A and B are shown apart, each in its own frame.
Chain A
Amino acid sequence: MNLITENLCFKPEHEYYLNDISLEFKAGNLYTLLGRTLSGKTSFLKTIAGLQPVDSGQITFAGKDFNSIPVWKRNVAMVYQQFINYPHLTVFDNIAFPLKQRKMKFSDIQNEVSSAIKKVGLQGFEKRKIQELSGGQQQRVALARSLAKKAKILLLDEPLVNLDYKLREDLRNEFKNIFSGDLSSQSILIYASTDPLEAMQLNGNIIVIDEGKILQHDSAKEVFENPSNVRVAEITNEPAMNIVNGSIESKKIILNKDVQIDLPDKLKTIKPGKYFFGLRASDIVLDDSGFQFVVDLAEISGSETILHLHQDNLKFVSLINEVKNFNNRDKVMLKIMSENLYVFNEKGNLIFSPFKNK
């Protein structure tokens, strides 16, 4: 029961929505489609659901040509970024809708619906109208509808993005519980997200997409440790990985005329020349023995502080593991953890990862 897409292309105007996408999804697996907004995530999900045409390419599911099957016969469930429900129906009828389309027996429908309602924790709300629910509850109804359907392919298009922080955490955990149940062994779950943290937490296969093109397709661990190129490194880190243009010359890494680091032993095999260096925000730490930088902006986020810094033409974002007050234009001393540097060649492809060569 594998879903295979081959060379999917869709270019409605000047830009590619989907650019030659070939992927294989195996039943029983969770796939996270990670990409920035407008990267083609929704287009891809809509194409699988049948809501959007393609210019060329093939979709096959369980050996059958999926392109020729109309939307309503595809047995796909989808949860959207906006809370999409049927405003004229009650919670019960909303969840029962796909089952009624299949002309199931009413007693079976009742069982399925009440078990789905239990899974998303909406007991007691069966008779409410959709407008009487909060945003989070509405999204749970949509989720319950997709669960009750027991579809072979479940598409989740940033389902948590419009919810408040606490609810997002709760529902994400619920996702894991729900999908570790009976559903997971037979279904393909594709979860689109812009949030690298979320993608890592879901811990499935990560597909990194950008400008309609697949950049990398690997396990969460692999994508985190070995991003295949500069763009992937940016997309899969929050804050985005610092990518700096520099060079290796006479056993030094030269980022600009002041910031020059001794070449760590691990990197000695790399030939002198021009490279892109990648450095996670958390690998730039406050240290009096380091280089002097100027603070452009300091943001406090939870228990961390995010610093936007510059020194001459060099710009960095640093993540400090404590809450500290900085003023703009403050001068701070920073140390660059050179042993955690990623090295990309001039085309932007990874040639050295601190994890691979450990």
Chain B
Amino acid sequence: MNFKHKFAFLFPGLFVLIGILIFPIGFMIRLSLSSWDTFYPGLDFIGIENYVRLFTDDSRFWESFFRLSFLSVTTVSLQYIIGFSLALMVWRDIIFKRFFRVLFLIPMMTTPVIMTVIWRTFFHESLGPVNDILSIFGIAPPWLTNEHLAKVTIIIVEVWQWTPFMFLLLLAGLLSLPKEPFLAASVDGAGPIRKFIYVTFPLMAPISIGAIIIRLIEASKIMDTVYVLTSGGPGTSTETSSYYIFVKGLREFQFGYSAALSFTYLIIMIISLTIISKLLVKLLIKK
């Protein structure tokens, strides 16, 4: 084939890449260097003023960031533990195995926003069925209006919605494991628990790391759950980074500033997820 024309075939892909990835990021960076808001809509240039403000005069962003870290690490850990347990359960020969496999996947198949609306109704302080049941024991926790309980509620909803994803990945991993090491381990004197610690878990480590990283990336974008359940409230106690950026950009229309927030957030996420994945590899896969 003619050398000159070879690269012409790359253009469709390259065009899409530039169109949907490189241009938006470039534009976001340029936007973050402007003061575009409702009063002065336009791409002026104000240097790194937005970044200075972000690092020196915006504790609300950093608070929302640490809250997000807490929420995503907690939810992903819970999802991993519960998902792994469920996967182990249906991996063994239990009755109605196929039924359970499908059952455990249902939450993932539902629309997150709609399910969150239903959860909000569930947890409604005076009208929700959760408190109806709890009132038998004489308690009615303010699920959505107490700043600590609201976080718990978000965690419950997130875990419910996304554990199936973890379950699916881990079950696929378990099913792909060779059977022989388990045979050998029981002959070599390992009971069920030791077999899990010394054989199942180490063999599952690579898949576990993959699943955890994927879920961490997803979980650090928690926005819809917060938006529907609490709108970041009470006060700002359940505000996550993405929700805060949404508020700054699409509620207060400070486009320039929210672009700076987004870019900073992107950089932090790339760095921290890289560190986390390196740590997980070191921790779970020895040598």
Contact = CB atoms under 8 A, between A and B. Distances in A.
Given A85-B181, A86-B199, A87-B181, A51 B187 contact: yes
A63 interface: no
A88 B185 CA distance: 13
Contact of A49 (B187, B199, B202): B187
Contacts of A73: 189
A105 B136 CA distance: 55
A50 B181 CA distance: 16
Nearest to B178: A87
B183 A51 contact: yes
Contacts of A87: 178, 181, 203
B274 interface: no
A301 to B, nearest CB: 33
A98 B188 contact: yes
B190 A88 contact: no
A326 interface: no
26 contacts: A49-B187, A50-B186, A50-B187, A51-B187, A70-B191, A72-B186, A72-B190, A72-B194, A76-B187, A78-B184, A78-B187, A80-B180, A85-B181, A86-B181, A87-B203, A88-B202, A97-B185, A97-B188, A97-B190, A98-B189, A101-B189, A101-B190, A102-B189, A142-B184, A149-B188, A149-B189
**A74, A100, A101 — which one has the most chain B CB atoms within 10 A of its CB?**
A101
A80 B205 CA distance: 26
Given A71-B186, A73-B189, A77-B187, A101 B194 contact: yes
A266 to B, nearest CB: 50
B15 interface: no
A84 interface: yes
A50 B186 CA distance: 9
A75 B203 contact: no
A2 interface: no
B70 interface: no
B188 A145 contact: yes
B203 A88 contact: yes
Contacts of B194: 72, 101
A305 interface: no
Nearest to B286: A88
Nearest to A70: B191
A78 B287 CA distance: 28
Contact of A85 (B184, B198, B287): B184
Nearest to B189: A101
Contacts of A72: 185-191, 194
Contacts of B178: 87
Interface in B195-214: 198-199, 202-203, 205
Interface string A46-78: 000111000000000000000000111111111
Give the interface residue-count category, chain B.
10 to 19
A51 B182 CA distance: 11
A71 B191 CA distance: 8
A197 to B, nearest CB: 28
Given A72-B187, A80-B180, A88-B205, 4 more contacts: A71-B186, A72-B186, A98-B189, A101-B190
Contacts of A74: 187
Contacts of B188: 72, 77, 97-98, 101, 145, 149
Interface in A87-110: 87-90, 97-98, 100-102
A76 B188 CA distance: 7
A184 interface: no
B21 to A, nearest CB: 37
A82 interface: yes
A194 B232 CA distance: 72
Contacts of A100: 198
A165 B268 CA distance: 59
Q: Which of B180, B184, B202: most chain A CB closer than 10 A?
A: B184
Contacts of A98: 188-189
Contacts of B187: 49-51, 71-72, 74, 76-78
Given A97-B198, A101-B194, A84 B184 contact: yes
Contacts of B181: 84-87
Contacts of B205: 88
Interface centre among B185, B189, B287, by most chain A C-beta atoms within 10 angstroms, is B189
Contacts of B287: 90
Nearest to A51: B183
A100 B184 CA distance: 14
Contacts of A102: 189
Contacts of A97: 185, 188, 190, 198
Interface string B163-196: 0000000000000001011011111111100100
Contacts of B202: 88-89
